[in-house]
Amino acid sequence: MDTSGAARSPWAFGTAVVVTACVTLLVTRHTATGPLAGPLEAGDGCGQDFGSALNMPLLATHLQANQEGQQHVVVTGGAGFIGSHAAMRLLNDGHYVTVLDNLSRGNYNAIRKLKSIGANRFAFYDIDLNDEARLDRVFNDMISKRSIDYLIHFAAVAFVAESYSNPILYYKNVTANTAYLVETMTKYGVNNMIYSSSCATYGSPTKIPITEETPQEPVSPYGMSKFMAERVLIDHAKSHKQFGVIMLRYFNVIGADPQGRFGESPDLSLPASHHRISTACFLSATGKYDHLTITGTDHPTPDGTCVRDYVHVVDLVDAHVKSSAIIKAGEAQYFNVGVGKGYSVREFVKACKAATGVNMKVVEGPRRPGDAAQIFANPSKIKAAINWEPQHTDLTAALTNSWSWFKSHPKGRAQGQIKPFRGRGDDP
């Protein structure tokens, strides 16, 4: 969830160093007299006139009584790529899920589908994290309905290239908003968090594979903003002994729900530099790009192209869910999440051709400044801590999942989306 707010204001492929939640800008929807509230209906997505953003209800207000073993989990950025998969998993596991998202980079279709899955176990708040007063009111409203067991914080802008051109956006959206969120959590006694961090905090390490003890030397503003957010959480856990956090530093996320219920819905109106390698491969396969460019073919790797670690979104979500069991009060724990194996860009393109059945044109270009030759994880720490083992490690199969979703949603984020309406930050 890009929570920067209005007042806060062709990518080629050698270095898909990091992929995090595709999540959401300031979007609050109100009538002339105030915000609408009411349960979201699965049929039309909102129970009101879907053609008008002004008539979209702000939240689902009625959660049914819980049963033994059920938890209430808040998911920020739950309309985005990873967040929507996480919310679906939690709902399918029988838990209650409340999503906080403002839909500027997320997809409202995800909210509709989550409502259809969770019914009265699902709630949605259209909220921008940088609106501290409104965030306070939302937490007060959530707590009045049901205590919160833990919160997963995916909400963030997540484009390395964009962070170079607009670094202030990233320090506000990623770092400052995390501080606002944790402050509000503490006020309302919500002390358990799982944080969506990134391998970008390591920068361009010389020793591979990357362990949790690898020095964090971020290069991009995106990586630095994540690193600083980690420091916020580490220092908060030291000073507030009831607060515990798990920080998951994940690598490149690919794939989609194998059953076709959720997938990545990129904003195709964004500059090509903001598209990930999989999106660009698919756009090339559909003919929207006339070729694919590999940046850098003279790296010290077996085939001369960059090597990256790709983790399937379903496995990544599993790591989040299992990590919730080891949150410890007063501690900030951190884990790498990757498969522990790297694929070169050439290998990725070959797998993409196999998944799509299209032999798209590929051209070679020069290296980009700052590109690391190899980045992949040593995931032994998280495997030992929560008995986590990635199950979807075949690159072609993962891209086949993504391709199936992409073909059925060719407009990306715009498909089924409503035009954002920027309103006042009133009470929910």
Q: Give the separation between CA 7 and CA 169, rounded to whole angstroms.
A: 11
Q: Is the peptide bond before 428 cis (omega within 30 degrees of 0)?
A: no
Look at residue 25 and give its three-state secondary structure.
coil
**Cα separation, 347 vs 303, whole angstroms:** 9
Q: Residues 128, 130, 132, CA angle at the centre, nearest 5°?
A: 100
Q: What distance in Å separates the CA atoms of residue 97 and residue 387, rounded to the nearest whole number?
A: 24
Contact call for residues 315 and 390 (beta carbons, < 8 A): yes
Distance CA 292, CA 277 (A): 9
What amino acid positions are annotated as catalytic residues? 222
User: Reading across the β-sheet that carries 150-153, which strands appear in turn?
Assistant: 122-126, 96-101, 72-76, 150-153, 192-198, 244-250, 332-337
C-alpha 369/C-alpha 410 separation (Å) is 32
